[in-house]
Structure 1
Amino acid sequence: MTRGFTLVELLVIVVLLGVLASVALIPPGPQREQLELDAALRLLRVGLDRGRLAAERQAEPCGLSLGPDGWHPPRHGSLPVCRAGVTRLSETAESPVQLRSNLPELVRFSSNGLVLDGGLVVLSHPALERSVCLVISLPLGITRTGHYATASGQALSSSRCRPPDET
């Protein structure tokens, strides 16, 4: 039985194409660098959401690993890969966006799409002072984004991920 794309998958593709097109049309400067950072944050969330959908579709637990350039198959074979969740944070191989995270090496998804591991991801751009963040909260894997209040030399803390209007 051949299945087509779902409405959610088509919407994700349209959003990704829109983000990539907007990044390509903006001239270099602080606006472009901020757009690169925002696009990477969106793609981080898209990979997480696609991992959830893959687990539900496969009707079995699966996992993803977060590397410096995006979501990858798990490094260890303890869980099958959430194939739809494997995504890069940039279309270019030489992205200036830097990623720091305290997520475990393997982010697990239950067969009903719940995220079983939480943590914090901070994305920064060397040309920008502000960093953006994504917090994955447990027990349901609910996410929130914001600006990260940097404290040099300290461990990552989700309490420093502030909503955009508090910066």
Structure 2
Amino acid sequence: MADQQARLSWRDGTVPVSDQFDDPYFSIQDGLAETEHVFLAGNGLPARFAPGFQIAELGFGTGLNMLAAWRAWEAAGQAGPLQFTSFEAFPVAPADMAKALEAFPAVAPWAERFLEKWQGTGSCDLGSLQLEVITGDARVSLPEWTGQADAWFL
């Protein structure tokens, strides 16, 4: 499968919906609360954070899960960077990410820092967060990944 850009529609002008899968990228009611409940609390985070912590994720989407984890990492006062690797078949264009993330002022400072450096794919050094987004079909790229995760966002 060749790498393809995500094709989006916008519900109520604020919620991105994948045209490929007819699926919203986050909860229409409160995507950040959903992320905190499902991914952070579901993995016992931030209580399990430790130096060198690695999160792996299937589907980077708008980056909301990464931003919530990064915010929690910094709030926990961890030394060194959080490692975050995501596998994404249909990368969202940075401009669409920026539009989607406007709905979450609680992560705006992290979104701004991220979007200043983000090129749409690949690696990004954000100081207290080291991000790698591996594009393509995860059925191919995940078995080739040599990393190990302390927590998975599925």
TM-score strictly above 0.5: no
Higher relative contact order (CA 8 A, sep 6+): 2
